[in-house]
Amino acid sequence: MTEPAAPSGPIHVVVDLNRCQAYAQCCFFAPGVFKLHGEEALWYDPEPDASQREHVLRAAAVCPVQAIVVQWSEAANRRSAEEPHE
């Protein structure tokens, strides 16, 4: 069984800054969205451009403490729920 594809459309990024340990893996995978300020403070764009979507998804996947959550708009979620999954 294959996993359904992620919905297309605008994404919203949330980082649990209490969980983040500043490993900076996200900064390597999506440098246009995530930046370390100093040695520990993470700055990020919560509404990245669509061109950054794949980079953000990879960054979230490689986060060692799973501090990054990617959310899609409600419209994208409805469309995804209506599409048949194999």
Q: Using CB atoms within 10 A of its CB, is residue 64 exposed (0-12), middle (13-18) or buried (19+)?
A: exposed
Residue 74, SS3 per DSSP: helix
Residue 39 belongs to what domain range? 11-82
Here the tokens at position 39 are 């040695």
Q: Residue 3 domain-assigned? A: no
**Tell me, what's the pLDDT at 74?**
64
Q: Residue 46 domain-assigned? A: yes
Cα(7)–Cα(4) distance, integer angstroms: 9
**Tell me, what's the pLDDT at 42?**
93
pLDDT by 10s per residue, the chain, length 86: 554 556 677 899 999 999 999 999 999 999 999 999 988 889 999 999 999 999 999 999 999 999 999 998 765 445 445 555 44
As for how many domains the chain has, the answer is: 1
**Tell me, what's the pLDDT at 44?**
96
Task: Read off the CATH number of the domain in which 51 is found.
Answer: 3.30.70.20
**Tell me, what's the pLDDT at 70?**
96
Residue closest to 14 by CA, chosen among 55, 66, 52, 64: 66
**Tell me, what's the pLDDT at 5?**
58
Here the tokens at position 82 are 């209506």
